[in-house]
Every structure is written in structure tokens, then in C-alpha cells.
Structure 1
Amino acid sequence: MAEMAVQSDVIDDAGPYDRAKALSAFKLGDVTFYWITRLSAISVLLILGGIIVSLIVGAFPAIKEYGFSFLWTQRWAPSADPPVLGALGPMYGTLVTSFIAMLIAIPVGLGIAIFLTELCPQWLRRPIGMAIELLAGIPSIIYGMWGFFVLGPFLANTFQPFMIKIFDGVPVLGAIFAGPPSYLSLFNAALILAIMVLPFITSISVDVFKTVPPVLKEAAYGVGCTTWEVVRSVVIPYTRVGVIGGVMLALGRALGETMAVTFIIGNSFRISSSIFAPGTTISAAIASEFAESDGLHQSGLILLGLLLFVLTFFVLAAARLMLMRLEKKAGN
């Protein structure tokens, strides 16, 4: 009590000047913190704007030379006089490989997440979780080397001949799975991409599935629902916003992946209806040719980078719009 009284006397003895000084120090610290955080946020916009401006400046000679025809021209002949450059082949390869990769990775990733959160024994969850984290940490060039030396020959010698034989003569599917088998193909690159984005979908899905209130699942089980019915009617609807966010994050990674795809896609600018044919993507084309490019050729590659930037932006913007509509619908 005596000590508290002494402290009270000290506080009471403090003059108005000391209180004003303390308040001024607090206000200065608050203003400083506000401007540091604000400048940090603005720096992101400045960096993004700088990237866009530099891409536009570098791509301007190609834009001036080819215009919109750059988008639907398939031929890529930088050594011709004058150079003939078209983005149709890389754009086609980027969209096809990303689509196939997501077609494989989404059901597998969600299946692993559902197993880990609803069905997996406790002793098995940690090893599977560590394996998923390890997949996410492997450098992309390692995936590319593994795909080139191991996965490509395996698919060309076993899986591709099997699929070609099954769908031979079938309308549409026969053209999609047409031969000959190849070590380097769009499908091989898409499979590598699916393996690479799988940890993103699985990890995010596991995290959002764990946010489902246990009482909701217990109530569903209490009225006689099976595990599949609980997942379909309770877990997925409750977490759909987070799941879609994870899927879009994985799609962004698939669209921009470079080294792994460069190793195994074949770097061919021709468009083929078969997914077993060689192809290329925007990022693979830039990686394989930029070091030896100059002049209009280099400007064309920068224009490819600008197209990839715009494509990724629209994909992420569409994902954000979808999430906003889902949140609004859930609120209603």
C-alpha cells in the first residue's frame, strides 16, 4: 500500500508539461507507424506499375510491328527476314497444360484433404502431411529433370501407347489422344504441373476443412448421414470460398511455371490436336530463347511476357469476382 501511495504521489506531482510531452510522443509514434505501413502498401503498387511499364516499353516495337495479328499468328520464325512472330502456339500450350493440370490436381488434392481431415488415422496424418510439404519444397528444376529422365520415358513406353490404342478411331477422343508416343509432350508437362500444384490445393483445403465447426458435422452424423454426405453437404459448402481460393492460387502457379515445363514440353510452336504432341508455353518460350534474342525477337518475347501477365491478371480477377459473388450469396 505504501508503495502504491508513493507511485500515486509521483504521478500526481507530474506537471502538465510532462503529460503533454508523453501524449506528443505517443502521437508521433502513431503517425510514424501509419506512414510506414502506408508507404509499404504504396510500394507494392509502385513495383507493380513499374513492371507493367517496363513490359510495355520493351514490347512496344513488337506491338508496333505486328499489332493484334500477334495473337492469332501461329508461325514463330525469328530468323526470317523480316522476322515472323506469333503468340498463338505458346498461348495454346499455356492454356492446355494448365487446364489438364488442374483437371488432375483438383480432385486428387481435394481427395487427399478430405482423407486427412475426415478418414485418416491419427498416426498416419503426420507422415502424409510431411510428404505434401516436401513436394511443395522441391525446386522446379528437379521436377523438370525427373520428368525428362524418368516420367517422360515411362509415359512414352507404357501409358501413351495404351491410351492411343484405346481411343484409336473414336471421334474427337481419337484426335486428342493421337500418336505417336513422345518423351516430350503437352500431357507430360501438364502431369508435372499437376504434381507441382497438388501441395497448394491440398494444404489450403486441409486448413479450411479444419475450420468447419465440429457441431455441424456431429449434427449431420446424428441424423444418419454418411461420411460422403457430410463432406458433400456440410464441409464443401461451408469452405467453398477457401477451396476456390486455393485452386486459383494453384492455377496461377501452373500458368507461370517455367523450368520444369521447359525440360519436358518439347518447345515446339506448332499447334496439334493431340495432347501427346510436343508444344510450348509462354514461360518456356521466353526461358529457352531470351538469352540469344535481340531486336524485334527480344521485343516479341517481352510481348509474350506481357500477355502472360495480362492472362494471369484476368484469371485472378475472375477468381476474386467469383469469391465475392459466393460470399454475397452466402450472406443472403
Structure 2
Amino acid sequence: MTDTASHLAGAAIGADPVPPRASRAANRGAGQGDAIFALLCRAAGVLVLLLLSAIIVELFLGGLPAFRAFGAGFLTNTDWDPVQEVFGAGVPVYGTLLTAVLALIMAVPVAFGIAFFLTELAPAWLKRPVGTAIELLAAVPSIIYGMWGFFVIVPIMASTIQPAVIDTLGEVPGIGMFFSGAPFGTGLFTAALILAIMILPFVAATMRDVFEQVPAVYKESAYGLGATTWEVMRGVVLPYTRISVVGGIMLGLGRALGETMAVTFVIGNANRITPSLFGPGNTIASIVALEFGEASAGSLKLSALLALGFILFVISFAVLALSRWLLRSRLKG
């Protein structure tokens, strides 16, 4: 009855009637297409989980001999002696966390200032060039940052910045140990500075995009009540976009944790922990890049390097979990 009624209705309005069998075939084809599309989407999601699981399992199994040989002390041991086959993750873990945190401390305020300028203060003719420059910074390969840091930043640090800081803050009781040492130019602080420049475009671009998504009526209402530009940013824009802002910061932190070549050029590559920010050090990514080519298959050194990769994965996962917990707590608040 339904097919007959649709046939008659089509004829009544002057349209070409659709044969009932053709209509059923079209519906059947659309249903099959939806099923295939859903199957492909599920397969894509499962593929991501399988790849992630394969990486985790491979790193863990590869690093298992090192974990068995050194136990829990592998995480805190600061020795790295391939001759004696004594390996510890203390130095690279310390360097990874310290440089990433310092990079965030330096990059986030600058990124916020750039995003604030582009969305609230910059004239229309200047927004596009500055925004394009920020996006181009994100496209620069890390090896270029490393070479630029080694040939440009390191000499400036060695000849100007580090001597001045060592002669002033290095003499202050209590905090002097953080700014002491010889001004070689390389070190943890230089690596953190390069990382800050590298993650700056990611954080700034994210903040700019989310600031622009704030409904204009919200800001206009605040301005109508007499609020200043900073009060609008602090009381309207930031609360509205805080989730996306935290997400952009975590994106930058993830880039800082896993950066390899740029850090390898400027960190000094020394397997020791020093309280001075100007002292040399290592990160997990840099020591893996330096030592992996010399590790023979099946050796304890190769296992230690794979164990370091597993630890870096765990650190990245912990950072992601912490960020999601912070976002959920803020949403509930």
C-alpha cells in the first residue's frame, strides 16, 4: 500500500513515478553503504588502539632485560657506563622533566601575549602577517632549530647572558647554585630556551584560535559595563576558553617531552645531574638518539635504551592523564 500510494502521489504532482522495486533497491543500497562506512570507521579506531598497544608492548618487552637487571633502581640510578654495562635512567628523566617545565614557563606567557595581541589589540593589517609568521615557526624542522641554536644561541649565551647571570645571581646565597658554573653556552637552560621557541607557535596558535571563538556579544556586554580590555580577557575570554587553552599547553608540553635533535645539539650531552641550570645534561630522547647506533642487537645497552623509551611513553601518558583530570575538575567546578 505504501509503495502504491507513493507511486500515485508522484504521478499526481507530475513527477516521474519511482518504481516500487527501484525504491526498495535504493534503500537497500543506502543501508549497505552505511554499514560499510560504519565498519571502516570502527576499523580505523581499532587500528589506532592496535598500533598504540604494539608500541607499548614492544618497548616494554625490549626493555624488560634492563628492568630485570637493575630493578626499580633503574629509574633513579644516575650511572651510564656502557663499558661496565651499568645503566640508569635518573639523568635523562631529570633532564627531560626539567627542560620541558622550563620551556613551558618561558613559552606560555609569551604565547598568551601573542594571542592577546592578535585577537584584541593588533590592527587588521597586522593580524595576518603576524599570524602567518607564527604558523611558519611551527613548520620549521627541529634539526634547523638545533643548528640555529648551536651556531647562534650558544655563542650568545656563552659570551653575554651566562657570564652576566653567573656574576650576579650566581653570587646570591640560596639561589646561586642554580646559576653557577662555567659559561659554556650549552646546558639545560639553553635546551629549554630552544624548546620554548619550538613549542611557542603551537600554544600561541591554539590560544589565538580559541580566543577568536568567544561570542562577540559576551565581550561587548563586558565593555558596555565599563570593563577594560584586560578585565574582559581575564573575566570573559579566559573562563570561556580555559579548556582549549589547557589543551594547547599540553600539546606544547608533549612536543617538548619528545623533542630529540634540537635538544641534542645544545644540551651538552653529559650523563650527570647538576643543580645549575647552565650545567650540561641529557634527556631521554637525546640519549636514545646518541647511543642507539652504537647498541648491538640483544645487548643490555639496547635494552636500557628501549626501557628509556618506555619510560618516556609513561611520562607522556601521565601528563595527558593529569591534563584530563584537571579539565574534568574544572568542568565540575
Q: Which residue of 1 aligns with 2:203?
A: 201
Q: CA deviation at 1:5?
A: 5.7
Paired letter, 1:227: T
Q: Pick closer, same or farther for the CA change 1:5–1:199 going to 2, 3 Å.
A: same
Percent identity (aligned): 51
Instruction: Identify which of 262, 275, 284 aligns with 1:260.
Output: 262
Q: CA deviation at 1:139?
A: 0.3
Measure the CA separation in 1 of the matches of 2:316 and 2:113: 26
Query: TM-score, normalization: structure 1?
Result: 0.94
Matches within 5 A, 1:90-239: 90-239=92-241
Measure the CA separation in 2 of the matches of 1:239 and 1:19: 48
C-alpha root-mean-square deviation of aligned residues, in Å? 1.4
Runs of at least 5 residues in structure 1 that lack an aligned partner in the other structure: none
Measure the CA separation in 2 of the matches of 1:9 and 1:163: 85
Paired letter, 1:31: A
Contact kept? 2:162, 2:185, Cα under 8 Å: no
Measure the CA separation in 1 of the matches of 2:186 and 2:16: 83
Q: Which residue of 2 aligns with 1:301?
A: 305
Q: Which residue of 1 aligns with 2:4?
A: none
Paired letter, 1:57: L
Q: Pick closer, same or farther for the CA change 1:9–1:312 going to 2, 3 Å.
A: closer
Is the counterpart of residue 285 in structure 1 residue 287 in structure 2? yes
Measure the CA separation in 1 of the matches of 2:11 and 2:238: 57
Q: Which residue of 2 aligns with 1:88?
A: 90
Q: CA deviation at 1:237?
A: 1.1
For residues 23-82 of structure 1, the C-alpha deviation after alignment (integer angstroms, 9 at most, x for no partner) is: 2211111111110000011100000000011111111111111111101100100111xx
Paired letter, 2:172: V
Q: Secondary structure at the match of 1:317?
A: helix
Q: Secondary structure at the match of 2:186?
A: coil
Q: Which residue of 1 aligns with 2:27?
A: 23
Aligned residue-pair number: 322
Instruction: Identify which of 242, 246, 249 aligns with 2:248.
Output: 246
Q: Which residue of 1 aligns with 2:50?
A: 46
Q: Secondary structure at the match of 2:82?
A: coil
Q: CA deviation at 1:131?
A: 1.0
Moved >3 Å (runs of 4+): 3-9
Measure the CA separation in 1 of the matches of 2:48 and 2:135: 28
Runs of at least 5 residues in structure 2 that lack an aligned partner in the other structure: 1-9
